[in-house]
Chain A
């Protein structure tokens, strides 16, 4: 029987990859991802995990090694953050286009310059369009559960796509949380072996990553898009099956105390936990405020989002990334786009905050809600608001 234990979230993520019985880990250490790959290196060195650990000289090589490993049919895991994710950028597109179900934990960290080792989502947003399935987790248990789910989703014959699990640097990755690690035997039953349809095999040669002239490129990209869109059904199916097996439920968009809420806050990642406490306080004071937590980022859960916010009058979206010279935060602009055709939709107010690890406290969320309500009533000349900047 699985026990609840106190674990550093990074170590638990490494343990989750071990429970998934990965064959290959290729990674380059970078703060704040380091503890995940250090732990995996230790597990391999100690003989506790039968896998090849490939130490490489850069993240570009890490992802390239993952490509090769996954293409021969190895279950492949890696992790990175920030500048490391940017350095693998071009290879990310190859992984998704070649339909290789690599799983990667991205420990979200701000991008340079100036150098910041702390959390925001600018690294994740820069790889938004890379064709990977992407989800944001808010606590250690979600991270563990979804690393396991990621292999099952990605390796499904209807999907065959790589998966990124985004978890906030330090505020999530380096905290010790009570976490239930499932039993190896349970995970083995839940997660069938990876059986790629066209592995690299000298007995049955295939050409991978060939040249595509204009007459076929569009068809290949559309096939990829249809697969990513269709992956949502497999994700929902996996989470249903996970709930049946392990008793923990996940959904693409989660609502917290939204019954009768005229005002909704929307968050992604570990700040959702603080926002829940803030919502509790505001509810206790009689304010009709609820919280929407966006877990699935790609494929974007349009239907679930529309359903979740349809009865609200004001929707306040917090982004932890700036789209310079653009509409503010990528999450808010996508939410606005998703609601554009809805006859009934809330007034959407976008805040950008929590950049480079700046904390957003319970009081900050209350302040954001108050400001958001005023802006929704009075209208704003700006596309978005920056939260907490000193004038």
Chain B
């Protein structure tokens, strides 16, 4: 399972004072979207039943966030740091191996 490559910052955006914001709110660091925990929006998470999975890769290709990665065993699992819980992988899985499960508080 791919680990989120989060580079620790001095301050998160939500902690910056108005004096610390870049001129015009420009973003000077390319590719910093990797730092955003888009998984925090999720209300349901995909859970894979490996006994049903035939490693077809369809979930990997359908994931709109590109957050599904291959495990060392060859299965496919979503990185919950980014997964927004859209359920497309569960919908597309031809083996019904993926179930969307309510997140608990």
| Chain A residues proximal to chain B, CB less than 8 Å | 97-100, 160, 197-198, 205-208, 210, 212-213, 215-216, 218-220, 222-223, 226
Partner of A223, one of B14, B18, B30: B18
B10, CB-defined interface residue at 8 Å: no
B26 close to A97 (CB less than 8 A): no
Count residues on chain B whose CB falls below 8 Å from chain A CBs.
15
Beta-carbon nearest neighbor of A225 in chain B: B18
| Chain B residues proximal to chain A, CB less than 8 Å | 13-14, 16-19, 21-28, 30
Known: A205-B30, A215-B13. A160 touches B23 (CB 8 A): yes
**Residues in chain B near residue A215, CB distance under 8 A:** 13-14
Partner of B21, one of A98, A206, A207, A220: A220
A207 close to B19 (CB less than 8 A): no
Bound CA span A219–B24, Å? 11
Partner of A207, one of B16, B17, B18, B26: B26
**Residues in chain A near residue B23, CB distance under 8 A:** 99, 160, 197-198
A207 close to B24 (CB less than 8 A): no
**Residues in chain B near residue A213, CB distance under 8 A:** 13
Partner of A208, one of B13, B14, B21, B26: B26
Known: A198-B22, A223-B21. A216 touches B27 (CB 8 A): no
Closest 4 pairs (CB-CB, A-B): A207-B27, A219-B18, A99-B24, A215-B14
A97 close to B24 (CB less than 8 A): yes
Beta-carbon nearest neighbor of A218 in chain B: B18
CB distance from B90 to the nearest CB of A (A): 28
**Residues in chain A near residue B30, CB distance under 8 A:** 205, 207
Interface of A is mostly: loop
Interface core residue of B21, B26, B30 (most chain A CB under 10 Å): B26
**Residues in chain B near residue A226, CB distance under 8 A:** 18
A selection of 25 A-B contacts at a CB cut-off of 8 Å is A98-B24, A99-B23, A197-B23, A198-B22, A198-B23, A198-B24, A198-B28, A206-B26, A206-B28, A207-B26, A207-B30, A208-B24, A210-B25, A210-B27, A212-B25, A213-B13, A215-B13, A216-B14, A216-B16, A216-B21, A216-B25, A219-B16, A219-B17, A219-B18, A219-B21
**Residues in chain A near residue B16, CB distance under 8 A:** 216, 219
B28 close to A216 (CB less than 8 A): no
B25 close to A220 (CB less than 8 A): yes
Beta-carbon nearest neighbor of A96 in chain B: B24
CB distance from A49 to the nearest CB of B (A): 28
Bound CA span A210–B24, Å? 10
A198 close to B13 (CB less than 8 A): no
**Residues in chain B near residue A207, CB distance under 8 A:** 26-27, 30
**Residues in chain A near residue B22, CB distance under 8 A:** 198
**Residues in chain A near residue B14, CB distance under 8 A:** 215-216
**Residues in chain B near residue A206, CB distance under 8 A:** 26-28
Beta-carbon nearest neighbor of A215 in chain B: B14
**Residues in chain B near residue A210, CB distance under 8 A:** 25-27
**Residues in chain A near residue B24, CB distance under 8 A:** 97-100, 160, 198, 208
CB distance from B7 to the nearest CB of A (A): 17
Q: A210-B26, A216-B16 are in contact. List 7 more A-B contacts (CB 8 A).
A: A98-B26, A99-B24, A160-B24, A207-B26, A210-B25, A215-B14, A219-B18
**Residues in chain B near residue A219, CB distance under 8 A:** 16-18, 21
**Residues in chain B near residue A212, CB distance under 8 A:** 25
**Residues in chain A near residue B28, CB distance under 8 A:** 198, 206
Interface core residue of A97, A198, A222, A223 (most chain B CB under 10 Å): A223
Interface core residue of B17, B21, B22, B23 (most chain A CB under 10 Å): B23
A220 close to B18 (CB less than 8 A): yes
CB distance from A198 to the nearest CB of B (A): 5
CB distance from A287 to the nearest CB of B (A): 50
**Residues in chain B near residue A218, CB distance under 8 A:** 18
**Residues in chain A near residue B26, CB distance under 8 A:** 98, 198, 206-208, 210
Bound CA span A97–B23, Å? 9
Bound CA span A223–B19, Å? 7
CB distance from B27 to the nearest CB of A (A): 4
**Residues in chain B near residue A99, CB distance under 8 A:** 23-24
Bound CA span A220–B26, Å? 10
Beta-carbon nearest neighbor of B15 in chain A: A215
**Residues in chain B near residue A222, CB distance under 8 A:** 18
Beta-carbon nearest neighbor of B16 in chain A: A219
Beta-carbon nearest neighbor of B27 in chain A: A207
CB distance from A224 to the nearest CB of B (A): 9
CB distance from B81 to the nearest CB of A (A): 17
**Residues in chain A near residue B21, CB distance under 8 A:** 216, 219-220, 223
